[in-house]
Amino acid sequence: IILVRLYLMIIKSSYLTLNWTDKLLLWYSENKRSFIWRTTKEPYHIWISEVILQQTRTSQGLPYYKIFLKAFPLLSDLATADENEVLKLWQGLGYYSRARNLHATAKYIHFECAGIFPSSFDELIKLKGVGDYTASAIASICYDIPEAVVDGNVYRFLARYFGIDTPINSSPAHKLFKAKAMDLIDRQKPGDFNQALMEFGAIQCTPKSPSCKDCPFSIKCVAFNQDKIATLPFKIKKAKIKKRHFNYLVISDKKNRYLIEQRTQKGIWQKLYQFPLLESDQEINNTNSLINHHNFPSIQALSESEIILWNSEPILHKLSHQILWVNFWILPTNESFKEGLSLKQLESLPVPVIIQNFMKIFFSFAP
């Protein structure tokens, strides 16, 4: 116990003599987590990891990272893959535009850039789906270019330490925080600095219950010393959440083939597949209201008594700015669909997670 206390005293005293940036790098060397993407500087691998980890927890993203690199070990493998295959592997991660942009950019680098990954910040930020954050991460980690990253963890740490009350979801925020991080960045180790900055926000300066008592920055932290931890970073109130009612029509023919459609319109789940969708202004909970809806499809040989509401209560599905109330209606028919798909064919298509969960249960009892 005495030796441990002595060690902690030595560490604490060593922090006191360091400047802000060196203090952060020392903390990182002692506390960083071990991730597979931290063992490489291969830009293709770093790019994949950064895109997956946007809007995704690390624990959730790690399995997808491994699956993607197993399926597409080289950029050329991703570039020449079918888009449905890419979306299928992405299934469950959400924000599917990330996967579509990932695929489009891989094709661009492979076919237009001779497979050579861009090596400058200005070239990287021009890529589809690559913004300032991703370009900065790849540039600093892979090419030692001093470009500071700014993400949610960085906003939180810097806002609290420096007492910055500019709303982080306002227009001036990114420029302000980017400039602050650029002032602090270690130009000899920009990759380590950026990862340290994000790691500190992820495991030390957390959104709730940050570890302030053993924080090497607490002495001069504005939020800690002025009791502003709960109020920083500051955010403008979110826009009103949109509420929608989805009615999926699970229509089958006499050979147990199902009608399926692809979402082509912009918005959630673009290019994913689904059962025919009837969206309503209010919840539909009875057969009569369903078939009298103006968008209900014309289906022959189907009586009202054959339509079954699969779930007893609407399934609540929350997205970032939307809440969906979902019903699945089972509609067996005696028709023969020319474009109907078998269960095996359905399972190969990328679908929203709400439909994936339904299929797991419903088709486990299917003939």
For residue range 337-349, what is the model confidence (pLDDT) as tens digits? 888 999 999 999 9
| Tens-place pLDDT, residues 111-148 | 999 999 999 999 999 999 999 999 999 999 999 999 99
Q: Is the pLDDT of residue 302 over 90?
A: no
Rounded-to-integer distance, Cα 359 and Cα 367, Å? 13
Range in 10-14, 159-163, 247-251 with the lowest mean pLDDT: 10-14
Sorting pLDDT into bands at 50, 70 and 90, what band is 14? low
Percent of the chain predicted with pLDDT > 90: 74
pTM over 0.75: yes
Instruction: For residue 315, give the amino acid letter.
Output: I
Q: What is the mean pLDDT of residues 13-17?
A: 62
237 pLDDT band, cuts 50/70/90, is confident
Two tokens, residue 133: 């954050």
Q: Point out which residues pair with 274 in neighbouring strands.
A: 261
Region 291-317 average pLDDT? 78
* Confidence (pLDDT) at 11: 54
∠ at Cα 239 (50, 200), nearest 5°? 35
Quote the CA–CA distance of 55 and 287 in Å, as a whole number: 38
From the list 241, 307, 250, 240, the residue with the least C-alpha distance to 275 is: 250
Look at residue 7 and tell me whether its pLDDT is greater than 60. Answer: no
Owner of token pair 């009892």 = 365
CA 157 to chain centre: 21
Q: What is the mean pLDDT of the chain?
A: 90
195 compared with 17, residue with greater pLDDT: 195
> Which residue shows structure tokens 């500019």?
166
Q: Give the H or E element holding residue 29.
A: helix 20-31
Q: Which residues contact 311 (CB under 8 A, 6 or more apart)?
A: 326, 327, 328
- 6 pLDDT tier (thresholds 50, 70, 90): low
Q: Is the pLDDT of residue 19 over 80?
A: yes
pLDDT interval class at 166 (50, 70, 90) = very high
pLDDT at 281 > cutoff 70: yes
* Token pair listed for 129: 């789906």
Alpha-carbon distances, residue 176 vs 80, 172, 235 (angstroms): 40, 6, 15
Average pLDDT score over residue span 215-220: 94
Check pLDDT > 70 for residue 299: no
Confidence of residue 94 (pLDDT cuts 50, 70, 90): confident
Q: Does residue 138 or residue 236 have the better pLDDT?
A: 138
The set of catalytic residues is: 50
- Positive or negative torsion for Cα 76, 78, 79, 82: positive
Cα torsion 352, 354, 357, 362: sign? negative
Amino acid found at 199: E
